[in-house]
Amino acid sequence: MIRSVVETPIAVSTLVRDRAKQHLRVILQRMTRGRMLWRGPAHLRRVALTFDDGPHLLTPRYLDVLGRAGVPATFFLTGLFAENQPAMVAEYLRGGHQLASHGFHHTRFTRLRPDQLRDELSRTARALGPLPQGRWVRPPHGSFGPVDVTTLLVSGYTVGMWSLDSRDYDGSTPAVIAARCAPAHVQPGEVILFHEGQEDTLAALPVVIDELRGAGYELVTMADLFAR
C-alpha cells in the first residue's frame, strides 16, 4: 500500500529552515577548524551530556546522579554564580566533569561590545580557575553573531554549542524530557543540552543515562567527544 503524505506549508518551511541551520553549522564548524562545535564524530558511538546555568541549589543532586552512574558531563557555568560558590566549582572538578564559561551575567553576547564581552570572559575565567580542558564557552541562549564569535576565537576559546535540545525549560514532565533524548532521537556524536536548577531534568537523567547506555552509547565530556 502506498502512503500519501501531505505536508503543510508550515511543516515544509520548518524542515527547510532546520536543514539550512544544520548546513550552516557544518560550514561554521569547518571554517573555524573545530573551534566552533555542534556535533562530534559520527563514527564513534559517543554522546556528550551538557548542562547550562549553574551552579544552583540543585547542583549537588545533579552531581550525585552523575557520580552514581559514573558519567562525566560538561557544565557551562554562569560566572556570577560560580564566583559566589567556589566550593561548588571544586565539587564539579572533583567529580571529573568539564567546566566551561556561560558568560558572567548570562547576557546575550550579541548585546555586548567586544570590550564588554572580554570583561565577561575574564571575570568568569577567574571564577572558574585553571581548567585542564582549556577555554570553552557557550553563548547564553545560543545567541551569537560575527563580532562576538570573532572576539571569542581571538581570545582563545572553543565555542561549544549543541546538536540536540532537551527543551527541559518548557515545563515538560520528566517522561517527556527523557523521551526527547531517547536513543531513537540520538545519533553518534550528539551533544545534548540540559539545564541545571530543573527538578524535572533531575528526575529524567537516570532514565536518559540508562537508555543511552543500553543502546551502546558511551557518555563523555565535550572535550573528550571532540578530542583528536
pLDDT at 60: 98
What would the grid cell of residue 45 be? 558511538
Comparing CA positions, the residue from 190, 192, 191, 195 lying closest to residue 171 is 195
Strand partners, 47: 219
Chain segment 161-185, per-residue pLDDT in tens: 999 999 999 999 999 999 999 999 9
Q: Which residue has the cell 527538578?
A: 199
The answer for 225, left when phi > 0, alpha when psi is -120 to 50, beta otherwise, is alpha
pLDDT of residue 23: 80
pLDDT in tens, 106-153: 999 999 999 999 999 999 999 999 999 999 999 999 999 999 999 999
For residue 130 the three cell numbers come to 585553571
In the chain, the percentage of residues whose pLDDT exceeds 70 is 92
pLDDT at position 5: 40
CA distance 50 to 194: 6
Q: Tell me, which fold does domain 37-225 have in CATH?
A: TIM Barrel (3.20.20)
The pLDDT value recorded for residue 2 is 37
DSSP single-letter state for residue 145: -
Cell of 127: 571564577
3-state secondary structure of 77: strand
Q: What is the pLDDT of residue 1?
A: 35
* In the chain, % of residues over pLDDT 90: 85
pLDDT band at 11 (very low <50, low <70, confident <90, very high): low
Cα dist. 51→61, 75, 89, 190, 217 in Å?
A: 13, 5, 14, 14, 18
C-alpha span between 201 and 62 (Å, rounded):
9
Q: What is the pLDDT of residues 179-221, one digit of tens each?
A: 999 999 999 999 999 999 999 999 999 999 999 999 999 999 9
CA angle 179, 164, 47 (to 5 degrees): 90
- Tell the residue number behind the cell numbers 553563548, with chain if given: 139
Summarised one tens digit per residue, pLDDT across range 34-93 is 899 999 999 999 999 999 999 999 999 999 999 999 999 999 999 999 999 999 999 999
